[in-house]
C-alpha cells in the first residue's frame, strides 16, 4: 500500500518534537512533514481517514508501523498558522471570511460522507492571511449513521470555533432580537456561519460603521450592537 511506512526507529524519521496532545506527540520529520506518535492508535479508523483528501482538513497521509507490524502513528502535512485562540489583531476580515466559507463547504462535504468531526474546536483550527485556514487533529474523526443530527452537530461545532475570534455565539447579548435569533440558529447548526457573518456585517454598516478591515475591528463593532 502507498500510504504505509515501516520503520526500525522513529529517530531515523524525525528531527525534533514540536507539540504534545492528550492522545499523542507530534514530531517534525526530515522532509518537513509531521509524524504523530499515538499511544493508542485505532488502525481501522486511521486507515479510513488516510483515504480522505482535503485542502483544508489535515488528514493522516501515511500510517507508520514498526518492522514488527505494530501501528505507532501517522504522517501528515505540516500546517502553518495561528490557533484561533491566539489570532493576531491584524488578521484581514475579508480573507478570514472567505476561508470560513471555503472550509464550511468542506465541512458539509465531509458530513455527506457521514463523518463525525470530533474535537472540531478553536484549539484545532489554524489560520494565517498567507496560508489560509487549516483544521488539525483529525485522527479522532469517526463514521456516524445519524445523518441529520450529524449535520447539525458538525455545523454547530464549526460555527463555535470560527466565530470565537469575532463573538461568543454561546451567549448572544445583542440588543436586536433578530440578531439573537440568528445567533441561536447558527449555534444550533440551522444557519450557515458565512450567512450569519453576512448578517452581522450588514447590522454594523446599517448603524454607520464602514465594512471591517480586520477581524478585530468587526469584533469591536459588534460590542455596540
pLDDT recorded at residue 21 = 79
Q: Which residues contact 179 (CB under 8 A, 6 or more apart)?
A: 172, 199, 200, 203, 225
The sign of the CA dihedral 206, 209, 215, 217 is negative
Instruction: Say if CB 175 and CB 131 are below 8 A apart.
Output: no
Dihedral, CA of residue 106, residue 129, residue 83 and residue 181, to nearest 10: -60
Strand partners, 24: 21, 38
Name the DSSP letter for residue 210. Answer: P
Per DSSP, 80 falls in state P
DSSP classification of residue 50: T
Contact 21, 37 (CB under 8 A): no
3-state secondary structure of 48: helix
All domains in the chain, ordered by first residue:
4-76 (3.30.200.20), 82-222 (1.10.510.10)
Contact 151, 169 (CB under 8 A): no
User: Which pTM was predicted?
Assistant: 0.91
Set of cell numbers at residue 151: 449535520
Instruction: Give the contacts of 164 (CB within 8 A, at least 6 positions apart).
Output: 84, 85, 122
What pLDDT is attached to residue 1? 45
Q: Contact, 4 vs 62, CB < 8 A?
A: yes
Position 99 scores a pLDDT of 98
pLDDT computed for residue 2 by the predictor = 61
pLDDT tens, position by position, for the chain (225 residues)?
Answer: 468 899 988 888 999 999 887 788 999 999 999 999 998 899 999 999 999 989 999 999 999 999 999 999 999 999 999 999 999 999 999 999 999 999 999 999 999 988 999 889 999 999 999 999 999 999 989 887 777 789 899 999 999 999 999 999 998 889 999 999 999 999 999 999 999 999 999 999 999 999 999 999 999 999 999
One-character DSSP codes across 141-159:
-EE-S-HHHHHHHHHHHHH
Contact 81, 178 (CB under 8 A): no
At residue 145, the pLDDT reads 72
Rounded Cα distance between 177 and 173, Å, is 9
Which residues does 70 contact at the CB level (< 8 Å), separation at least 6? none
Amino acid at each position: 500500500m502507498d500510504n504505509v511506512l515501516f520503520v526500525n526507529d522513529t529517530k531515523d524519521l524525525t528531527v525534533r518534537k514540536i507539540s504534545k496532545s492528550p492522545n499523542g506527540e507530534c514530531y517534525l520529520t526530515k522532509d518537513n512533514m509531521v509524524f504523530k506518535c499515538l499511544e493508542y492508535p485505532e488502525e481501522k479508523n486511521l486507515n479510513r481517514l488516510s483515504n480522505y483528501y482535503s485542502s483544508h482538513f489535515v488528514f493522516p497521509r501515511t500510517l507508520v508501523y514498526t518492522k514488527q507490524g505494530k501501528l505507532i502513528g501517522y504522517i501528515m502535512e505540516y500546517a502553518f498558522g495561528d490557533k484561533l485562540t491566539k489570532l493576531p489583531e491584524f488578521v484581514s476580515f475579508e480573507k478570514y471570511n472567505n476561508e470560513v466559507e471555503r472550509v464550511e463547504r468542506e465541512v458539509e462535504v465531509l458530513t455527506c460522507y457521514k463523518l463525525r468531526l470530533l474535537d472540531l474546536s478553536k484549539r484545532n483550527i489554524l489560520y494565517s492571511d498567507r496560508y489560509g485556514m487549516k483544521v488539525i487533529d483529525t485522527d479522532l474523526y469517526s463514521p456516524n449513521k445519524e445523518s441529520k443530527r450529524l449535520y447539525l452537530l458538525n455545523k454547530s461545532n464549526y460555527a463555535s470555533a470560527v466565530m470565537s475570534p469575532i463573538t461568543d455565539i454561546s451567549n448572544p447579548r445583542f440588543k436586536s432580537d433578530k440578531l439573537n435569533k440568528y445567533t441561536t440558529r447558527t449555534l444550533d447548526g440551522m444557519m450557515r456561519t458565512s450567512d450569519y457573518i453576512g448578517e452581522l456585517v450588514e447590522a454594523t454598516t446599517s448603524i454607520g460603521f464602514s465594512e471591517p478591515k480586520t477581524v478585530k475591528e468587526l469584533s469591536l463593532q459588534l460590542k455596540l450592537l
